[in-house]
Structures are given as C-alpha cells and as structure tokens.
Chains A and B, each alone.
Chain A
C-alpha cells in the first residue's frame, strides 16, 4: 500500500514552464462539432465551450516521443510504480469564456499525489492545477485535473 516514495512525493508543487497558445475559430468549431454542442455561439466558434480549454493545453509532441500506448511522456511527472492512467475528473473555475483570437498562457503545477486502496488494487491519484490567463495576466480559467493510475 506504500507505493509513493519520498522521491515521488517531492514532485508535489512542481511547476511547469508557461505554455502560450493561440485560439482559432476553426479549432473551436471542430471541438463544438465533435462534442455535439447545440449552442450557436459554440458551433459558429464565437465562443468556446467551457471544457474546450482541457484540450487546448494538452501536450503536443513529435510522433517519436509517443509511447506504445500512444501517449506522450507525462511532461514533468515522476516515474510511478503503476502504469495504466485513467481520467478521474476536472474542476473548473471560469472567469470568462475563451474566444477566438485569444492568446492564452497556461501554467501547470502538480498539486497533489496520493494513493488509495481501490476495490481491485492500489490506485495513485495525481492532481494537477492549470492556471489560464491572458498574456496581460487577466485570469481566464483555473482547471484542476485528477488522473487515476492503476
């Protein structure tokens, strides 16, 4: 039950370098169609659905960096003794919607790493916090993402 070494736990608080992204109307429209949105503002790309930001800051890496599971190496993450990663959940605080033409800066940090005994064995929870702001520093959104590794 004690999977998390002091070395792994020392990653809590680790902050990644800021990532800057430009939001395009076309990317919003693609997301809106793939998620079956019904609001005109989303389908026209005038405004992005709240969960659009989740994909916006996912890592974009060269193909040869992708692992056998297809995933990029978790950018600043400790090596964990369990390997299968599942979505856990997301909490969003929304200050304003994302719009086409936005240039946004995201800073991700590891907020917590903890373990629990699940019904079918041990689970490791990795919680990251992503702060999204404009280039001028005005807050847009905060995303807390929990991943479950088993």
Chain B
C-alpha cells in the first residue's frame, strides 16, 4: 500500500498481463449487457464490419487501467478522477500489458496524479490513461 511520504514522481506502478479469451470476452460483454456482434461473432466482425478479428472492448482496457490504480491503492486511498482513450483497436488473440507511473505528487492535499497505459506486443500504447488519487 503506497504511503504519501514515500511516493515520488517517475515511480513505476505495477501492471498486469491480459490475454482475453472467447470465454472471458463473452462474460465481460454479458456483464455489461453489450450485444455488439464484433465482440463475439468472428464472421460478422471480419466480413461485415471488416475488423481483423473479434474486437477486444475499449472499456475493458479502460477497466484494466482502473485496476492498475485500485490494485496499487488497496484499501489505503481513494480514486477521485480517472480517464482513458482507446487509440488502437485490439483483437482476440493479442496479449496486452497494463502499467503506469506516478506523474506528480501534491503532499499538501495528498493528491497523486498517475499516468497509465495499455501496450500491445509491438510496444504501441493502445489505450493511454490518467488518474488522480488521494493517499492517506
């Protein structure tokens, strides 16, 4: 659990490796009630909407970025602001890696700004993000 007095700009925040499967992607779309066929119907995704494969949801990558923050915070802080944007489409079969780093620390307010990213195998950032948290 990060302590405000020990957090420094540039500090790395651990991320995770995510390799969605047909099953995990189906369950995610069921959980958010998203019936868009590009997320489970390969033939439709490639032949009709002309994607290279089944599309990994942008908001799922957004959730992985939120997890970089909440995994780091544990029970000792609060997420105040969070944002991400989807810059590059990702498809089933890809392995994506989330991560982040501390951008700035405001010791007076306890607010810490984080930079977040999901990268693909090519090392390209598919979804950059940012968050503001309050540490104790």
Contact status B80-A34, CB under 8 Å: no
Q: Is the beta-carbon distance between B33 and A86 smaller than 8 angstroms? A: no
Majority secondary structure, A binding face: mixed
In the complex, what's the smallest C-beta–C-beta distance from A136 to chain B, in angstroms?
21
Given contacts A33-B27, A34-B27, contact A90 B62 (CB under 8 A): yes
Number of interface residues of A (CB under 8 A): 35
Size bracket of the B interface: 35 or more
Question: Assuming the A-B contacts A34-B27, A58-B32, A90-B84, are A51 and B62 also in contact, with contact meaning beta carbons closer than 8 angstroms in the complex?
Answer: yes
CA distance A30 to B34 in the complex (A): 14
User: Given A37-B67, A146-B85, A66–B35 Cβ distance below 8 Å?
Assistant: yes
* Residue of B18, B48, B57, B81 touching A93 (CB-CB under 8 A): B81
A109 to B31, CA, bound (A): 24
**Residue A122 CB within 8 A of the other chain:** no
A88-107 vs B: 1/0 string, CB under 8 Å? 11111110000000000000
A6 at the interface (CB under 8 A from B): no
Asked if A34 and B35 make an inter-chain contact with CB atoms under 8 angstroms apart, the answer reads no
Give the chain B neighbours of A30 by CB distance below 8 A. 27, 30-31
The residues of A that contact B69 with a CB separation of less than 8 Å are 50
A88 pairs with B86, CB closer than 8 A = yes
**B6-44 near A? 1/0 per residue, CB < 8 Å:** 000000000010100000100110111111111001001
Q: Which residues of B contact A90 (CB under 8 A)?
A: 59, 62, 82-84
Q: How far is the CA of A72 from the CA of B82 in the complex (A)?
A: 27
Write the nearest CB–CB distance from A64 to chain B, whole angstroms: 12
Let me know if A58 and B34 touch, CB within 8 A.
Answer: yes
Output the least CB separation between A133 and chain B (Å): 17
Which residues 37-95 of A sit at the B interface, judged by CB distance below 8 A?
37-39, 41-42, 49-51, 54-55, 58, 60, 66, 69-72, 84, 86-94
17 contacts between A and B (CB under 8 A): A30-B30, A30-B31, A34-B27, A35-B28, A38-B67, A38-B71, A39-B74, A41-B75, A51-B59, A51-B63, A54-B59, A54-B62, A58-B34, A70-B37, A71-B35, A93-B81, A94-B80
6 nearest CB pairs, A to B: A87-B58, A55-B32, A89-B85, A91-B83, A34-B27, A70-B35
- Besides A37-B67, A55-B31, A86-B89, 5 other A-B contacts (C-beta < 8 A): A88-B86, A89-B86, A90-B82, A91-B83, A94-B78
